[in-house]
Amino acid sequence: MVIGYLKKNKYLKMKRISLFQSLIIVFFGILNTVAAQKGTSELASLGIHIIPYPQEVRLGGDDFILQNGLDIILDKNATSTDLKTAELLKKSLIDDWGLTVNITRENGTKGIVLTREGVGASIKDQGYSLSTGKNGLTILAKDEDGLFYGVQTFLQLIKKHRTGPFVPGMEILDWPDVKIRAAHYDTKHHQDRASYVKSFIRDLAKYKINMLVWEWEDKLAYKSHPEIGAPGAFTMEEMKEFTAYAKDYHIELTPLVQGLGHVSFILKWPQYRDLREVEDSDWEFCPLEEGTYDLLFDLWDEAMEATPGSKYIHIGSDETFELGVCDKCQDKAKEIGNSGLYHLFAEKAAKHLKKSRKVMLWERPMGWENSGSPIKNMEPDKDLVLTEEYHYESPDFKFARQAKNMGFEMFMYDPNPGLEPLFLPYHFKMTSNRISSSPRKVKGSLKDSYDLLTASANSGLFHGMVNTSWDDSGLHNQMWMLSFATSAQYSWNATAPGLEEFENSFFQNYYGPNVKDMEELYELLNEGAYYYAHSMERNVWHHGDIGKTHLPDLPRGQYVEYDQYWNNEYSEIIKRSRTQKESMKRALQIININMGQVERNAYDFEVYQSIAKLIEHTCLTYLDLSELEYTITQAHKNAFSDRAATLRSLEKAELLIGNSLLRREKVFADLVSVWEKTRLPKGMSTPAKKYFFKMDRSRHFANRTPDMSYLIYDEQLLDMEGYLEKLRAYRKSFQLKF
């Protein structure tokens, strides 16, 4: 990287190396040697962790030492946007480093110079150069975005020293590989608080994400159809405020209001039943009903009104499971195929929307030709922006190239990390949805993203990238941050660093240099989430089958008769529960250590803790049930010889169940309390409006119940309360009679 930089760039001259910088280089000499052997980047070898990593870096020259009374120097003709960037920089330096900072337009070289004057050909769109000097640091950019991104890099370069904060001597030339870098923000099954939305925007901006595709469904208080907006939904004015706030951080807030499919939040309402493709399914609109468009146009118009200045709107429209089923659509499909129906809908939508916005939808390049029902007698609207996957069909970009030649604008679709509840399969995925079937571990989502983005970012075929974060299983949004950062890194710079270094850099960048054992923690939570998902048949339920763990047999009769089956039937999950319990013990140890010493985003560890404790509770519940059967067995054995011992065993059995229920109540209440620090109560009603709950057609894990109890719903199905009541009644009867 450094050699390539020196060969290619002549616009920056190497400055003399300061004594301070020399000491740093000597100090890190051995570390650098080891780092080089492992392929560690230049900045990481100095303990600096930048995301995304700059395109070109050259170390050396004078260090820039930040002192009180620091000036931020703007061009005399700097725009209001440039001034806002300077103000955000000033606030960060005051809040994070306790400095006194001034913003000035006076000419000078001392301080931090933010300039867009005298830009050469080496500075690309959204790009910048950054260079240090003894008395100053200069960020030079071609446009407003580039100046902002240069500032984001500068803020990540600052290091601590006993004499004060400083930036080691260096020169950077940087630009993005992909023009639009989008994060998909899915709030279909929860609503974050306004303060969290703003903090999320700030986090994305730090990593140079410049579009937020917000799938808000019923989280906007629609004026035209007020019943659709959930209780507590953001008002039009609040959404406009979010849009303006995001713009300050160089992020376009793009609304995603689902169109053809995924519309249970609309069609669950009885008054819209006649617009359904299938009368008994609220999942999908009929594309041949004019009322479909009248209703959607109202919602889309409000979505555009709520996001003034944005250039795109996303209409979703994926997973159209029932397309072509109703009588009218069956007849039309004979003429144009199911894909024809899909694009008939998309074309009518685009005709209404593209006067004001570019229209994005979940369609893959050449999907209309490669589907099971190819288009006949019509072509897709070339103004549509294609944002769905393509790489599974053609690793050589055949279909993407074909669509590009036809004139389509396309976004890379960073592979969805997964739909597992609680945590994401960053490091590995499991090949089976049952614990007892010896599942194998395969490549995780981090490697999936890395492989896709590094292969396609420099292909020249894609206008943008979109990372998806589906809310189907109700994860806390903070669990997606590593995924968002991964997409940000490799859509900005697809060549460096390597994946291992990047993950380590993320943890240090996001939590601070004192964070420990994060890769191990993620491995443990990755494994624990699969254990949780596969226990009590949770994942079986999600895929459409019904199943649940059963309770041990209740005792009956005067000799405590029972069917001894439970420990034999559930031997595999009991064994796994013992192992998993120890893993969660280690996870909680790592969490507790970090909670007391991380510099940033400590709240994440509260969420990690709530997840680990829920997984641990699941382990303990299985072990309790195992012990319950053994206790009943002991009661049975003593029934012929020692009635008092039998009674004690029955009382112990009651205590086991009672304590398990109390533990569940506490673990669940603590989890809800932690999660609701950043979000509104799930499925809440207000005095003015009652929440209307209906399970969706796709059986989303998070939509099994209106509230957060979807996380313990499977335990509730066990009815341990009823079991305890019957057990207590049997024990009292036994005590009285015998």
Question: Residue 33: what residue type?
Answer: T
Please report where in the chains the tokens 């996870």 appear, as a residue. 587
Q: Which two tokens stand for residue 230?
A: 């959930």
Upper half-sphere CA count for residue 611 (Cβ side, 13 Å): 31
Q: Which two tokens stand for residue 84?
A: 């806002």
Burial class (CB in 10 A: 0-12, 13-18, 19+), 256: buried
Name the residues annotated as catalytic: 319
Q: Which two tokens stand for residue 669?
A: 């209440």
Which residues does 162 contact at the CB level (< 8 Å), separation at least 6? none
Within 10 angstroms of residue 248's Cβ, the number of other Cβ atoms is 16
Q: Are strands 56-59 and 170-174 parallel, antiparallel or unpaired?
A: antiparallel
Helix 290-306, helix 327-353: angle, nearest 10: 30
Distance in Å from the first CA to the final CA of the chain: 84
Residue 118, phi-psi category: left (phi > 0), alpha (psi -120 to 50), beta (remainder): left
| Among 187, 229, 719, 234, residue whose Cα is nearest residue 469 | 187
Which residues does 61 contact at the CB level (< 8 Å), separation at least 6? 14, 15, 16, 17, 18, 21, 131, 132, 133, 169, 170, 171
Q: Are strands 428-430 and 441-443 parallel, antiparallel or unpaired?
A: antiparallel
Could you tell me if 607 and 675 are in contact, meaning their C-beta atoms sit under 8 angstroms apart? Answer: yes
Sign of CA dihedral 685, 697, 319, 528: positive
Could you tell me if 535 and 618 are in contact, meaning their C-beta atoms sit under 8 angstroms apart? Answer: yes
Please report where in the chains the tokens 């925007």 appear, as a residue. 201
Per-residue CA distances from 14 to 23, 120, 174, 343 (Å): 18, 18, 17, 57
